[in-house]
């Protein structure tokens, strides 16, 4: 059976590393991005070098119509997906709760939570044996922030990732009998541009002494965990979330 994977927010960072690794493993790939076409195109070139079918689709996955259109385009150009990696998300500048506005909080939850629900819904409609699908796998990218809370920095982001952990558990139970496995990964302090989005590009250097492994993680290390959860090697794993956080 052809393996077709959609990775949201895969123009760069963890998403890009995952897209390239899955292409290397023989998946046909849809690279989704919202703003950075240049980065997404570079990821596309690397993924295509492994000889699989790949495409790039722009979509703001916090918007329902764009999610529906994204999945329909994948249906047309690649076929119904067998693997979904919910990875896209945002981080806003560090601040305490007392300074947060409803606009900021809603923005975080629309981008980090609503998007995962919408994409998972479309995936289930295609994968579920109840809908004549052949099954599939979903991996949700959470964050160690869901456990740590990110006080004084961005507890709104941390709370959004806590919601993703709950989604992972609940959805896994909902669709287990329909041929779909749902798992998650919680990256810790990974070397990506997201720290700059939070206003502190060198954040890992500041906190690495508090990480048991004494370093930040690589995007490839998270991608390896995602790929394992998508594979048949994890065929008896569902409703689980793996910490990829250096022990913190």
Residues recognised as catalytic = 157
Tell me if residue 58 falls in helix, strand or coil: strand
Strand ranges for the chain from DSSP E: 4-7, 28-33, 54-58, 83-86, 136-141, 180-187, 241-244
- Alpha helices of 81-154 — where are they, by DSSP H? 102-109, 115-127, 145-148
- Measure the CA angle with vertex 138, ends 134 and 140; round to 5°: 175
Which of 152, 156, 225 minimizes the C-alpha distance to 188? 225
The 3-state DSSP composition of the chain as helix, strand, coil percent (nearest 5) reads 50, 15, 35
Instruction: Kindly state the greatest CA–CA separation across the chain.
Output: 52
By three-state DSSP, how is residue 21 classified?
A: helix
């Amino acid at each position: 059976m052809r393996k077709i994977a959609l990775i949201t927010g895969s123009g760069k960072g963890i998403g890009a590393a995952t897209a390239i690794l899955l292409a290397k493993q023989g998946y046909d790939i849809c690279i989704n991005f919202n703003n950075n076409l240049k980065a997404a195109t570079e990821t596309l070139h690397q993924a295509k070098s492994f000889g699989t079918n790949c495409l790039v689709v722009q979509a703001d996955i916090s918007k329902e119509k764009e999610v529906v259109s994204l999945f329909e385009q994948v249906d047309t150009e690649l076929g119904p997906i067998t693997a979904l990696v919910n990875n896209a998300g945002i981080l806003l500048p560090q601040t305490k709760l007392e300074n947060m506005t409803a606009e900021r909080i809603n923005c975080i939850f629309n981008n980090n939570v609503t998007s995962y629900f919408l994409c998972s819904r479309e995936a289930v409609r295609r994968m579920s044996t109840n809908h004549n699908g052949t099954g599939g796998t979903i991996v949700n990218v959470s964050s160690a922030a869901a456990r740590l809370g990110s006080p004084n920095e961005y507890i709104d982001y941390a709370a959004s990732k806590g919601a993703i952990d709950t989604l992972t558990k609940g959805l896994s139970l909902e669709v287990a009998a329909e041929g779909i496995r749902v798992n998650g990964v919680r990256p810790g302090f990974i070397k990506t541009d997201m720290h700059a989005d939070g206003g502190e590009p060198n954040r890992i250097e500041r906190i690495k002494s508090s990480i048991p492994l004494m370093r930040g993680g690589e995007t490839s290390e998270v991608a390896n965990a995602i790929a394992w959860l998508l594979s048949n090697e994890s065929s008896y794993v569902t409703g689980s979330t793996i910490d990829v956080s250096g022990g913190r």
